[in-house]
């Protein structure tokens, strides 16, 4: 039995996975918290504390075994299996998501897609047939969809989230620029490109000041 891990620690694990994967692919066998921290922009002390939740991965002065840590973290995050996803809303954004080549190699497979628009229902995008929204609940249950991606306009997003929750989906990735609501036990994460832009502007604003 594992201890309860704080959410903020869990949210950092994918970054560790990404950094460790790069190291592993580059043939690096051992890494210390200082080098890993420099690569990820996380304080070494934070890394040591985060990883301490999951047992002893490193030896003082020797660093972490990259392959071992990568395998262990992947298992902890449940990345040693395939997750089935549905996309709701197949406009430009939804189609771009269905087209995205980064999901499948990392264990996330899109198996269903839904829209309200009769002009797109019945068409295929990346080998997945777009179904009518009215078939969502039955299809999600039948295909054992674990995760749903919401790519509808903001005005429809909460309604779609409610429908997904009602259909038994417990993990939702929301691309609409709203802060949706879900009941306890359901996880809702938002993809908000503005958050990334807003931290870049800090540095842009500083360098403009330098010039004046």
N- to C-terminal Cα distance for the chain? 58
**Residue range at the interface with a copy of itself (CB under 8 A); choices 7-15, 49-57, 63-71, 111-119:** 7-15
Pairing of strands 30-31, 63-65: antiparallel
- What residues between 62 and 101 interact with a copy of itself by CB under 8 A? 76-79, 81, 83, 91-93, 95-97, 99-101
Is 54:69 a contact under the CB 8 Å cutoff?
Answer: no
Q: Which of 87, 173, 180, 182 binds a copy of itself (CB under 8 A)?
A: 173
- What residues between 27 and 66 interact with a copy of itself by CB under 8 A? 41-43, 46
**Residue spans of beta strands (DSSP E) within the chain:** 30-31, 58-59, 63-65, 83-88, 108-115, 124-125, 128-132, 147-150, 171-174, 187-190
**Residue range at the interface with a copy of itself (CB under 8 A); choices 48-56, 59-67, 133-141, 149-157:** 149-157
* 3-state class (DSSP) for residue 150: strand
Give the relative orientation of helices 66-76 and 7-25 as an angle to the nearest 10 degrees.
140
Binding region for a copy of itself (CB under 8 A): 5-8, 10-11, 13-15, 17-18, 22, 41-43, 46, 76-79, 81, 83, 91-93, 95-97, 99-103, 106, 108, 146-147, 149, 153-154, 170-171, 173, 177, 179, 187, 189, 191-208
């Amino acid at each position: 039995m594992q201890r309860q891990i704080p959410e903020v620690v869990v949210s950092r694990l994918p970054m560790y996975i990404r950094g460790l994967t790069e190291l592993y692919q580059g043939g690096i066998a051992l890494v210390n918290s200082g080098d890993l921290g420099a690569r990820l922009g996380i304080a070494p002390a934070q890394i040591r504390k985060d990883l301490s939740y999951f047992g002893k991965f490193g030896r003082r002065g020797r660093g972490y075994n990259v392959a071992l840590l990568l395998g262990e973290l992947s298992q902890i995050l449940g990345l040693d299996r395939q997750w089935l996803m549905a996309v709701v809303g197949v406009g430009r954004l939804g189609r771009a998501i269905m087209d995205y080549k980064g999901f499948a190699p990392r264990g996330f497979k899109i198996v269903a897609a839904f829209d309200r628009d009769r002009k797109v229902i019945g068409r295929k995008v990346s080998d997945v047939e777009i179904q009518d929204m009215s078939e969502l609940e039955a299809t999600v249950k039948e295909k054992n969809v674990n995760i749903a991606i919401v790519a509808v306009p903001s005005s429809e997003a909460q309604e779609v989230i409610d429908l997904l929750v009602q259909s038994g989906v417990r993990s939702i990735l929301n691309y609409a620029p709203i802060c949706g609501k879900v009941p306890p036990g359901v996880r809702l994460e938002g993809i908000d490109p503005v958050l990334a832009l807003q931290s870049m502007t800090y540095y842009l604003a500083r360098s403009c000041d330098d010039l004046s």
